[in-house]
């Protein structure tokens, strides 16, 4: 008995040390963890149950696409999870980042802008602009975040939600209808792929350069997110989320602070947009529908709002469920030889199953898979209060019934 | 930040004057639009477009009522509500086409009335049941959960409803049987108004008045208002909260069903993804009017109908949604609580 408990305490102590060290060197911890995760994921792609779903290179490619959503979820988490501002049109900033890259990195866009970047550098040589464009895309998206936020951030939470939802609808409509400068439905194609001096241009055949780039991006954004949240600004965000009036009374400039949350969240989406555009080599309005906004929000809520690792895992899980698991159900059930299941076409049921998964996961864990510890404590306090109220309500009901 | 409460206090002290100014401003805008429309299109065309706008507005208003009621009572943006409207359209077209075997317009007035009423009753009852079921399984368990959790399940329910309808009816437009004869029109000079449009506007107005009476005059309506105002206090006063919320969903879904029926009659087609856009605009209408306020939702619905028809008349059909949301942003910047909404405190 005592031996077991000793072992237990020893173990706790050992992990305590590790935790402390991790907290002290947060950035290095993130880099190392991302490197470990980044090394394990490709290995999984070569192990039997996974190889049957799709070939390894498709897995690597899928991980990279999932990474785009991890980036989006991290950015939205800053806005929704940390600062408590409900943004339902997040895909708009994703679109703005993507189109920013498209204008600089495609012949069509160069004509519109009146620059001769691709002509002078050549298709291969122009790929180098991808790297500075990551920053430019972030800046442009952040600018639009401020433009949208400045007039609307005074609104109460749910009014903000509907305005952002409207913005999320307007942006694709503008890209769709302003044919002369955006090429309408077809979008802008023929974007140059990223290139590096020694490695040369990235290609569609080799998923690895994109994968490694994505790992680096996610690690960088994650480090920045943690640094931000632990900064004065991050504490201001949390204060506003908890009680805006109290925060203002304590000297926080709520408008500037909320604008910064909006701008920084938008800039992350801008980076994701630039990366995604460079990978798909085409941008079109239908890539940025409300489904993207809602899916990213679901990732944030499911992962556990406010917790960056949780949100990243949530994004990865939902992306994998939606794009790999549901699509490979057909093959899976064909092999099982169960008559009814073999006849069902699961591709057609994809959205039904996705919807059921969202509802089911929320019912099982309303606070998300990995809730932020502080939020969790608040939540439980609320529930304790609420259950008291429920008792009262139940009593009132029975009394009414007796009458 | 500091100036805001003072300003709103001043506004509250002079409510009648403020309201008069607001009404006058609204009237001036309406008359201005009317003058521009008449001078551009002539009286006949302008009347026809007016009826068009009212018809479309009536549909948005019916959907918006459900949004605003649900939001008013449990503060949930019920994203599945637009899809309930879409389901209503499909229930109605299935009932009319397959159960009643309708395949052409009916000119006999009593038969027509019977069929139309039957379609409304059947659709609204089915939708009410679906709405209550969804509330029971997707929202009720999450009443004490963080606020975003039911929002996510609502999105999930929306996906589920769309997929079910798509499986049954396919991804393309399904025709809704025509009931009202095309020839029933009231000529006004060169233009004409269809009887169907007038009928739709009448139905919407009757339902809205009925809803107002229900909320304002009945015991259940009072329970709904008190639950919306303060759920805990209402519970202490003996209001059955669960039943009240279920009834809110029941009424809201039934109204969405009615909107689906009239939409099918007016436009003759339905598609599995109709619900999202319509729901978005209806929610915009609810916010525009002041969310939680049923009169505001109706007003907002008509305003959005006018904006859309106006955009179409001027040849900007494709920009319609952008103009709608642009108007919303402008209105919210100047009146953050919507046109008829109460100025609420920060934490209300």
Calculate the dihedral angle through the C-alpha atoms of B194, B196, B199, B200, rounding to the nearest 10 degrees.
Answer: -110
**Could you tell me the CATH number of the domain that includes residue A236?**
1.10.3470
CA distance A202 to A278: 10
Q: Which residue has the higher pLDDT, B337 or A403?
A: B337
State phi, psi for A135 to the nearest 5 degrees: -70, -45
Q: Which residue of A has its CA nearest to B290?
A: A159
Asked if the Cβ–Cβ distance from A362 to B283 is below 8 Å, we say: no
Per residue in A330-358, pLDDT (tens digit) is 777 777 667 676 667 777 787 888 888 88
What is the arithmetic mean of pLDDT over B36-64? 85
Largest pairwise CA distance in chain A: 87
Write out the two tokens for A17.
């040390």
B156 touches chain A (CB under 8 A): yes
What is each CA distance from A158 to B188, B274, B284, in whole angstroms? Answer: 44, 24, 12
Is residue A331 assigned to a domain? yes
User: Which among A158, A120, A293, A72 has a CA at the least distance from the CA of B155?
Assistant: A293
The residue written with tokens 């907290």 in the block is: A23
Domain extents for chain B?
Answer: 53-282
State phi, psi for B182 to the nearest 5 degrees: -60, -30
A382 touches chain B (CB under 8 A): yes
CA distance A138 to B285: 33
What pLDDT was estimated at residue A243? 85
CA distance B195 to B197: 5
Asked if the Cβ–Cβ distance from B318 to A176 is below 8 Å, we say: yes
Mutation site for B-interface testing, chosen from A240, A321, A352, A371 by largest number of B Cβ within 10 Å: A352
CA distance B217 to B196: 31
Q: Which residue of A has its CA nearest to B134?
A: A359
B87 touches chain A (CB under 8 A): no
Query: Taking a contact as any Cβ pair under 8 Å apart, which residues of chain A between 248 and 267 contact chain B?
Result: 248, 254-255
What is the arithmetic mean of pLDDT over B30-51? 79
Per residue in A36-47, pLDDT (tens digit) is 888 888 888 787
Report how many domains make up chain A. Answer: 1
Is B7 a residue whose pLDDT tops 50?
A: no
Query: Taking a contact as any Cβ pair under 8 Å apart, which residues of chain B between 286 and 325 contact chain A?
Result: 287, 291, 318-319, 321-322, 324-325
Is residue A4 assigned to a domain? no
pLDDT-wise least confident of A158-167, B87-96, B126-135 = A158-167
Write out the two tokens for B62.
């019916």
Asked if the Cβ–Cβ distance from B146 to A154 is below 8 Å, we say: no
**Residues from chain A contacting residue B144 (CB–CB below 8 Å):** 382-383, 386-387, 390
Asked if the Cβ–Cβ distance from B287 to A162 is below 8 Å, we say: yes
What pLDDT was estimated at residue B290? 84
- A257: containing domain: 55-371
Number of cross-chain residue pairs from A and B with Cβ atoms under 8 Å apart: 173
Contact by Cβ (8 Å): B267, B260: no
What pLDDT was estimated at residue A244? 86
Asked if the Cβ–Cβ distance from A170 to B325 is below 8 Å, we say: yes
Mutation site for A-interface testing, chosen from B3, B81, B148, B296 by largest number of A Cβ within 10 Å: B148
3-class secondary structure, B285? helix
Is B15 a residue whose pLDDT tops 70?
A: no
What is the arithmetic mean of pLDDT over A290-313? 88
Of A155, A169, A350, the CB nearest to B321: A169
Query: Taking a contact as any Cβ pair under 8 Å apart, which residues of chain A between 323 and 352 contact chain B?
Result: 348-352
DSSP symbols for A205-263: S--HHHHHHHHHHHHHHHHHHHHHHTSHHHHHHHHHHH-HHHHHHTT--HHHHHHHHHH
Is residue A28 assigned to a domain? no
Query: Taking a contact as any Cβ pair under 8 Å apart, which residues of chain B between 246 and 265 contact chain A?
Result: none
Of A254, A355, A362, the CB nearest to B163: A355
Per residue in A102-159, pLDDT (tens digit) is 998 888 888 888 787 777 777 777 888 889 999 999 999 999 999 888 887 777 667 7
Is A33 a residue whose pLDDT tops 80?
A: yes
What pLDDT was estimated at residue B65? 92
Contact by Cβ (8 Å): A79, A265: yes
What is the arithmetic mean of pLDDT over A226-243? 90
CA dihedral sign, ordered B64, B67, B72, B73: positive
What is each CA distance from B191 to A232, B46, B99, B195, in whole angstroms? Answer: 66, 9, 36, 13
Helices (H) and strands (E) in chain A, counts: 20, 2
Per residue in A268-285, pLDDT (tens digit) is 999 999 999 999 989 999
What band does A206 get if pLDDT is binned at 50, 70 and 90?
confident
Is B343 a residue whose pLDDT tops 70?
A: no
Asked if the Cβ–Cβ distance from A152 to B329 is below 8 Å, we say: yes
CA distance B184 to A366: 54
What band does A379 get if pLDDT is binned at 50, 70 and 90?
low
What pLDDT was estimated at residue A224? 92
Query: Taking a contact as any Cβ pair under 8 Å apart, which residues of chain A between 7 and 66 contact chain B?
Result: none
Is B13 a residue whose pLDDT tops 80?
A: no
Per residue in B156-204, pLDDT (tens digit) is 999 999 999 998 888 888 888 888 887 788 877 777 888 888 999 999 9
ipTM above 0.85, yes or no: no
Per residue in B103-134, pLDDT (tens digit) is 777 778 888 888 889 999 999 999 999 999 99
**Residues from chain B contacting residue A351 (CB–CB below 8 Å):** 159-160, 162-163, 166
Q: Å from B163 to nearest chain A CA?
A: 5
What band does B347 get if pLDDT is binned at 50, 70 and 90?
very low
Torsional class of A122: left (φ above 0), alpha (ψ -120 to 50), beta (otherwise): left
Of B159, B319, B346, the CB nearest to A354: B159
Is residue A37 assigned to a domain? no
Per residue in A47-66, pLDDT (tens digit) is 777 777 778 888 888 899 99
Q: Which residue has the higher pLDDT, A97 or A26?
A: A97
What pLDDT was estimated at residue A5? 47
Query: Taking a contact as any Cβ pair under 8 Å apart, which residues of chain A between 135 and 194 contact chain B?
Result: 151-152, 154-156, 158-159, 161-163, 165-167, 169-170, 173-174, 176-177
Asked if the Cβ–Cβ distance from A162 to B232 is below 8 Å, we say: no
Is A386 a residue whose pLDDT tops 60?
A: no
User: Which among B251, B231, B253, B250 has a CA at the least distance from the CA of B240?
Assistant: B231
Is residue A280 assigned to a domain? yes
What band does A189 get if pLDDT is binned at 50, 70 and 90?
confident
What pLDDT was estimated at residue A1? 43
Of A159, A243, A348, the CB nearest to B287: A159
Average pLDDT for chain A: 82
Ordered alpha helix ranges (H), chain B: 3-13, 15-74, 81-94, 109-134, 148-169, 195-217, 219-229, 231-236, 241-267, 274-289, 294-313, 320-334
B235 touches chain A (CB under 8 A): yes
pTM (predicted TM-score): 0.82
What pLDDT was estimated at residue A370? 80
Q: Å from B76 to nearest chain A CA?
A: 9
B150 touches chain A (CB under 8 A): yes
Burial class (CB in 10 A: 0-12, 13-18, 19+), B89: buried
Ordered alpha helix ranges (H), A305-346: 308-320, 326-336, 339-343
What pLDDT was estimated at residue B25? 80
Q: Å from B155 to nearest chain A CA?
A: 7
Of A294, A366, A397, the CB nearest to B142: A366
Per residue in B271-300, pLDDT (tens digit) is 888 888 888 889 889 888 888 888 888 999
The residue written with tokens 């339905």 in the block is: B270
**Mean pLDDT comparison of A26-35, A145-154, B149-158, highest-scoring range:** B149-158
């Amino acid at each position: 008995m005592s031996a077991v408990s000793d072992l237990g305490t020893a173990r706790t102590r050992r992990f305590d040390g590790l935790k402390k060290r991790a907290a002290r060197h947060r950035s290095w911890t993130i880099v190392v963890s991302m490197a470990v995760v980044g090394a394990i994921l490709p290995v999984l792609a070569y192990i039997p149950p996974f190889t049957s779903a799709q070939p390894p290179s498709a897995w690597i490619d899928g991980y990279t696409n999932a990474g785009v959503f991890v980036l989006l979820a991290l950015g939205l988490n800053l806005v929704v999870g940390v600062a408590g501002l409900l943004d339902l049109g997040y895909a708009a900033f994703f679109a703005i980042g993507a189109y920013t890259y498209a204008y600089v990195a495609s012949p069509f866009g160069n004509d519109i802008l009146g620059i001769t970047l691709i002509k002078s550098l050549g298709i291969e040589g122009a790929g180098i602009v991808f790297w500075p464009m990551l920053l430019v895309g972030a800046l442009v998206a952040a600018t639009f975040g401020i433009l949208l936020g400045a007039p609307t951030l005074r609104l109460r939470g749910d009014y903000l939600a509907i305005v952002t939802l409207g913005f999320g609808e307007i942006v694709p409509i503008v890209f769709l209808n302003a044919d002369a400068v955006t090429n309408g439905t077809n979008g802008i194609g023929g974007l140059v792929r990223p290139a590096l001096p020694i490695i040369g241009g990235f290609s569609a055949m080799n998923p690895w350069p994109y994968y490694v780039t994505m790992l680096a991006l996610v690690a960088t954004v994650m480090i920045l997110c943690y640094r931000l949240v632990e900064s004065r600004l991050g504490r201001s965000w949390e204060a506003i989320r908890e009680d805006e009036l109290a925060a203002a009374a304590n000297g926080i400039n709520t408008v500037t602070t909320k604008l910064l949350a909006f701008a920084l969240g938008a800039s992350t989406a801008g980076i994701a947009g630039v990366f995604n555009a460079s990978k798909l080599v085409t941008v079109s309005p239908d890539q940025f529908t409300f489904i993207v906004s809602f899916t990213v929000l679901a990732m944030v809520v499911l992962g556990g709002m406010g917790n960056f690792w949780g949100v990243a895992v949530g994004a990865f899980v939902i992306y994998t469920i939606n794009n790999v698991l549901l699509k490979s159900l057909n093959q899976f059930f064909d092999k099982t030889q169960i008559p009814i299941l073999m006849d069902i076409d699961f591709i057609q049921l994809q959205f039904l199953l996705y919807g059921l998964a969202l509802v089911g996961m929320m019912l099982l864990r309303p606070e998300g898979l990995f809730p932020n510890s502080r939020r969790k404590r608040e939540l439980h306090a609320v529930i304790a209060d609420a259950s008291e109220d429920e008792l009262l309500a139940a009593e009132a009901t029975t009394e009414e019934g007796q009458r | 930040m500091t100036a805001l409460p003072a300003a709103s206090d001043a506004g509250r002290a002079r409510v009648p004057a403020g309201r008069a100014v607001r009404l006058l401003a609204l009237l001036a805008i309406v008359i201005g639009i009317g003058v521009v429309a008449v001078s551009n299109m002539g009286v006949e065309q302008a009347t026809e477009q007016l009826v068009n706008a009212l018809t479309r507005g009536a549909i948005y208003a019916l959907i918006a009522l459900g949004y605003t009621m649900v939001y008013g009572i449990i503060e949930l943006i019920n994203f599945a509500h637009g899809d309930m409207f879409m389901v209503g359209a499909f229930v109605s077209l299935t009932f009319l086409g397959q159960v009643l075997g309708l395949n052409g317009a009916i000119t006999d007035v009593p038969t027509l009335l019977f069929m139309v009423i039957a379609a409304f009753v059947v659709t609204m009852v089915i939708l009410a049941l679906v709405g209550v079921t969804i509330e029971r399984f997707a929202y009720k368990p999450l009443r004490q959960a963080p606020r975003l959790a039911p929002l996510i399940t609502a999105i999930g329910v929306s996906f589920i409803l769309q997929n079910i309808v798509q499986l049954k009816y396919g991804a393309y437009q399904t025709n809704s049987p025509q009931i009202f004869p095309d020839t029933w029109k009231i000529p006004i000079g060169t233009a004409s108004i269809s009887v169907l449009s007038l009928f739709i506007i009448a139905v919407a107005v009757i339902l809205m008045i009925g809803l107002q009476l229900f909320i304002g005059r009945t015991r259940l309506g009072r329970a709904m208002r008190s639950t919306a105002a303060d759920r805990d206090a209402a519970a202490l006063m003996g209001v059955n909260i669960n039943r009240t919320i279920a009834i809110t969903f029941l009424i809201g879904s039934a109204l969405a069903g009615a909107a689906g029926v009239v939409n099918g009659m007016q436009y003759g087609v339905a598609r599995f993804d109709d619900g999202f856009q319509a729901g978005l605009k209806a929610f915009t209408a609810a916010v525009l009017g002041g969310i939680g306020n049923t009169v505001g939702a109706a007003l907002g619905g008509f305003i959005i109908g006018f904006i859309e028809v106006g955009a179409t008349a001027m040849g900007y059909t494709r920009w319609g949604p952008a103009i709608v949301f642009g108007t919303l942003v402008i209105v919210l910047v100047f009146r953050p609580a919507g046109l008829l909404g109460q100025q609420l405190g920060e934490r209300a």
